[in-house]
Structure 1
Amino acid sequence: MAYVSTIPDPWDAIEIDTFFESESAAHIAIAEVGYSSASDAVYKVMVALSPAITQPPHSLELFFYFVRASEEDDSVEEINNGLQTKHIIPSDERTRILDVVCRATQELLDIAKPPIVHYISGEPNMPEKARRKYGRICKAIRERGYDGREVDPFLGTHEWILKRTDA
């Protein structure tokens, strides 16, 4: 397999770059997690908290992608479905990448401090294994002082809403 991890051991020593994108009012975190030994592709995790017009005022939507970038063919591919990364990421690295997503989420919450965070599954009718991964992210959000739960599914998608307890 061509994937080579760049996540340090211990994994929480990873560098996560955070910034505020004023045009979209989004808080963004990016961390490099690997590269391809067979091409010039670099793999990153991108996590963002962004205003969403369909949600209550002052709430931010959480979303994240696994990103494959290549200078060779000048391409950037954003992947938000775990099934699409199976051919790229070895199974033993998937948990470490989820740890990075959780830590990046927590760093963004520490910066943005939104009163409400919500996130929606990228794919409808996702398997239980994928729902457990979203549960890990929910736990990471709770560790930063939020409380909430998954709400009723809509057209097969799953949504979580969490409110800051000190807001």
Structure 2
Amino acid sequence: MRTGGGRTISSVLLLLFGIILVMVGAYFWFIRPPLLPEDLRYLATSPATIDAAVPNLETWLGYVFHVLGGYIVASGILTIALAGTSYREHRASAAVAAAVAGAASIGLMSAVNFSIQSDFRWALLAMAALWASSILMYAIEAFRASRADPAAAIPSLRG
């Protein structure tokens, strides 16, 4: 199934997921404070108590979240590139990479945020659903292509 621009629906979904990853990474990099109200709730403490016990923690966490944001932005950029190239061309290696990377990133992040009852758990679940929809649509597209052309199901015959 292709859109008007020759893109597959699965690649458009993965592209959207990549764009959202870039935006989330930018949030972590430029906007996110070192400690959110939910962090303090989970730790059952106050900023004053944390500052007294670990005076430089907020500065340290600021650095940690800047680096994490950079990695999320980089993952988003790579996801966008994957969506526009080999994933769109239905290369099996691209689908495996998208599935494993998504499970290790947004899948894990969503699961952990549910386990700690994060305020962001539903937004992260929506992101995970977008990623999973792309993987599911890829499988549907690959199945339909293999029924129409059995050689299309064999990666070595497709280049």
In the superposition, the TM-score normalised over structure 2's length comes to 0.28
In the superposition, the TM-score normalised over structure 1's length comes to 0.27
Structure of greater relative contact order (alpha carbons < 8 Å, 6+ residues apart): 2
In terms of fraction of residues, the more helix-rich structure is: 2
In terms of fraction of residues, the more strand-rich structure is: 1
Larger Rg computed on CA atoms: 2
